[in-house]
Structure 1
Amino acid sequence: MRGVYALLAAALMACALPALSSDDIPDAPQDYAWGAALDLPEPASWYRVDLPIEVYTGSTHPDLRDVRVFNHDGERVPFTLETQQTPVAEPAPIPLRIFPLDTSPVETASEGQSVVRLHSANGVDIRIEGETAKTVGQSYLLALPETMPENFTLAQLKLVWNEPVKNWQGKVSLFFSSNMRDWELLQQDAPVMALSSGNDRLKLDQITVNQSMSSDGVRYLLMVFDSPQLPVTITQVNATLGSVATPREQVQMAAEAQRISATEAQYQWRQPQPLSALSVTLDGEGVLPVEIALRSAANDPWQPLTKTVLWQLNGQSSAALPVSGQLVQAVRITTLDARLPAALPQVNGSRDRQTVLFNAQGKGPFMLTWGNRAAEPAAVTIDQLIPQALRKQIDMTAIPQVQVMARETLGGEMRLTATSPAERQGMWQTVLVWGVLVLGVAALAWMALRIWREAKPR
């Protein structure tokens, strides 16, 4: 009996031992699934590495905590992670002056020639000729304010209309001019609509433009609908200016598609990703009203993102959807009163591109590694890597850029499910606790049986 008590006491003491620290076991390149040699351009104390797409897709953690840099001797060198992003202020909408135009055909002597005259009550007169004139419907002249910058990017136009009609849809073409005589096509057949089905409401009141312009070349916009009479009246148009992000600021990650039914498709990434935007692109030209939902993990409930209209017409497509950096593992697209096309839409997530800045300690060559579920955060702060006083003396923008070579397999995919020493200690303690409980139950049963035998009459 004393032996049983001694075994129980030893097991309980073992459970009370502190978990092993990952700091007690130094990192090694083989602890990571993959790596890539770094080609250093010139001798320097610090180098900068733009992470390739394989790191984002192969990392086991959304914050890239399993990224490391090792020297020739397999020693981890100090490094920090920097996010490449340029803060951009939210542009304020610019109201445009709007002039409704009446449409009337013009009789011409030339047989087959189409000419349409657009005129407003205050004397604005516009003449449209050629093939375009055949499809001119309800039209509006938009005047840009004189305070427009010399060069700008027109991101989108947002339309405002009265809403006596629940369901309507149309297409609008945009033209631009500097003098109201010579007009050039800016965008053709952009969809505009307001739909309702039961309690569902869907409104597409924005026209995506994303066109660079100059104030001396663009003073007027002409908005031409494909219908002679609209069931609504456009009462206001606001312009939004934008800026084009450089390719280095964002990395695009394609999601794997799966058709669930005729009206539902799901897309997922191998690991959850902190996305800033979501781009959904139709494979061919068309218009598709949809509801989009997201989830952060495979077993999480779906969270609605938006109801919108996906479209692809004349080389233009619907704008990307902001996601604001939340973790996204999967996307669900459900059509509204429509069926999915034969070729599923493509889904790409945008996340902030990151750079590794490391101190070249030890001998080269150096290696970038990633892919280790057991890894703990190891990046230091920029102040720990390069003290602020030293940063004032060096040109941070002149730190050499390193080229990342082809990916190599190190520890392999088994490292993607590796457990940390603390996790292994916790699992071992759990097994040991259950063993102690089973042993205790067995000891109690043995004691009860012994007492029963001793009390049994002979």
Structure 2
Amino acid sequence: MSRLSSLFRLLPALLASVLAAPLALSGQESPDGFATRVPLELSGEGPWYRLELPLALHLTARHADLRDLRVFNGEGEPLAYALTLGSTQPSETHTETPVKWFPLYSPASAPDSPHIRVQRGTGGTLVEVTEGQAADAGEVLRGWVLDASALKQPLQKLILDWSADREGFQRFTIEASDDLQQWRSWGDGQIARLSFADERIDQREMALPGLRARYLRLLWESPQQAPALTQALVVSSTRVPAPIAWSGDLPPRRAGNGEFYWELPVALPLERLRIELPQANTLAPVTVQGRRDDRQQWFWLARGLLYRLPENGSEVRQETLELPGTPVHQLKLQVDERGGGLGSATPRLQVGVRTTQVVFLVRGTPPYTLALGNATAKAANLPLATLIPGYDDERLARLGVATPTGEAVTATVKQDQPEAGTDWKRIGLWAVLVAGVGLLVLMALSVLRSPATPRQE
């Protein structure tokens, strides 16, 4: 039994060697295993950095989901990273802008709105309200005209500050105009200033309907005497389209009879198409279809009207179509020839997708390299909350920035995908594992069959 006991003592080491064999055969990833490599330049505070992935680099990947994307350090070690996709919804930015205000007087007994006579400068800016600059006897301050003519964006909120002899609630109507003649109602507003003991409450803000207007008129209801304004701010909003990453010009694979075909290097969830019309005075109703490969039927993606037409001495263009974000590998553009077609020149196509951001944790020494293009690579990205403990959107915005610099190095890497159902690499690894286990079984049987050595008394 002493031999068997010795064998059992060797079993852990033998098993470790057998289990390590597949790992040794699989090997560690290195930059040389990727077809496209581009150096990265880092700026800002680390150790985390974010990279807006250009679509030109995305198109060099072998997988649409970027499972073959890696970031390496100067020692050739892969770094931990996460992938984030930009939003498909547009965002809004809000800006507070101080505006000028002008008083409106009328007799205390007059029920109607005060009549306005103003002097406007270039661009419609109010310079002077000629009536009511000095109140006549028996007239009271009924309200104010606010000059928002410098704002071209929708108005979202009004913020006022004022001085008054007494506290309380004060209500007023809000009206809007673009010419100071025709006014439309924007509802009611209310400001309030209350204090009790050492506490004070100020209600200074009121919502606006989110429409454009050059002028606002505030008319106080009760009491009719309006307070003296000390500040007027208008909050406007700017709609920011969802960020889109655009490709370069893609040549059609073939064209003819009003149909054009494109094949992308990799299937992408397209959000936009930009079709640059080669000739002026072009009007083209078009239909766009897509599919994943030659074995699928074409399915509808978009329909629209493209044009490049003169207007008032300039040219107006409509060359962009919105798509539903369905992954496609091939595109077909059909042009209705009744509009005159696109002429003899070939249209230039650009595709747009949601921006992809790569966030990675630096380790080791530079230079750092972004690598793509490995058909056999497996997904290695982490969730962003795992990569950055305590992650939030504000922290992401403060990360350092990585930028592709220099020319991308393109190498020929043999990466043939195994045929479906025949994974030779996996078969080889399992063969090594089975052979190791079989060796252990033979050794155990050999020990059991050998004659036992007589014990010496």
Q: Could you tell me the TM-score, scaled by structure 1's length?
A: 0.51
Counterpart in the other structure of 2:407: 407
Deviations 1:182-223 (A, max 9, x none): xxxxxxxxxxxxxxxxxxxxxxxxxxxxxxx95329xxxxxx
Q: 1:261 aligns with which of 251, 256, 268?
A: 256
* Contiguous gaps of at least 5 residues in structure 2: 1-20, 93-149, 155-176, 182-210, 216-236, 432-457
Q: Is the 8 A contact 2:37 2:369 kept in 1?
A: yes
Counterpart in the other structure of 2:102: none
Higher-Rg member (1/2): 2
| CA–CA distance in structure 1, aligned partners of residues 427 and 25 of structure 2 | 19
CA positional deviation for 1:301: 1.9
RMSD of aligned alpha carbons: 4.0
- How many correspondences in the alignment? 274
Deviations 1:324-383 (A, max 9, x none): 221122221223344441112222211011111111122222111111111111100112
Change (3 A) 1:302 1:332: same
Q: Is the 8 A contact 2:88 2:354 kept in 1?
A: no
Change (3 A) 1:24 1:341: same
CA positional deviation for 1:407: 3.3
Q: 2:367 aligns with which of 365, 368, 393?
A: 365
Counterpart in the other structure of 1:325: 325
| CA–CA distance in structure 1, aligned partners of residues 420 and 285 of structure 2 | 50
Identity %: 21
| CA–CA distance in structure 1, aligned partners of residues 417 and 29 of structure 2 | 13
* Contiguous gaps of at least 5 residues in structure 1: 1-18, 91-148, 154-176, 182-212, 218-240, 433-458
Q: Is the 8 A contact 1:375 1:420 kept in 2?
A: no
| CA–CA distance in structure 1, aligned partners of residues 258 and 51 of structure 2 | 43
SS at match of 1:255: coil
| CA–CA distance in structure 2, aligned partners of residues 22 and 371 of structure 1 | 23
SS at match of 2:413: helix
| Aligned residue type for 1:46 | W
Matches within 5 A, 1:33-432: 33-41=35-43, 44-85=46-87, 87-88=89-90, 151-152=152-153, 179=179, 215-216=213-214, 243-245=239-241, 249-285=244-280, 286-314=282-310, 315-318=315-318, 320-338=320-338, 339-388=341-390, 391=391, 395-409=395-409, 412-415=411-414, 417=416, 424-425=423-424
Change (3 A) 1:426 1:393: closer
Q: Is the 8 A contact 1:32 1:415 kept in 2?
A: no
Q: Is the 8 A contact 2:273 2:352 kept in 1?
A: yes
Deviations 1:18-77 (A, max 9, x none): x96899432111110011112223562111122233321211111111110111111111
SS at match of 1:69: strand
CA positional deviation for 1:318: 2.5
Change (3 A) 1:312 1:243: farther
Matches within 5 A, 1:20-35: 24-35=26-37
Q: Is the 8 A contact 2:304 2:321 kept in 1?
A: no
Change (3 A) 1:280 1:250: same
Deviations 1:110-163 (A, max 9, x none): xxxxxxxxxxxxxxxxxxxxxxxxxxxxxxxxxxxxxxx96448xxxxxxxxxx
CA positional deviation for 1:266: 1.2
SS at match of 1:384: helix
Change (3 A) 1:216 1:266: same
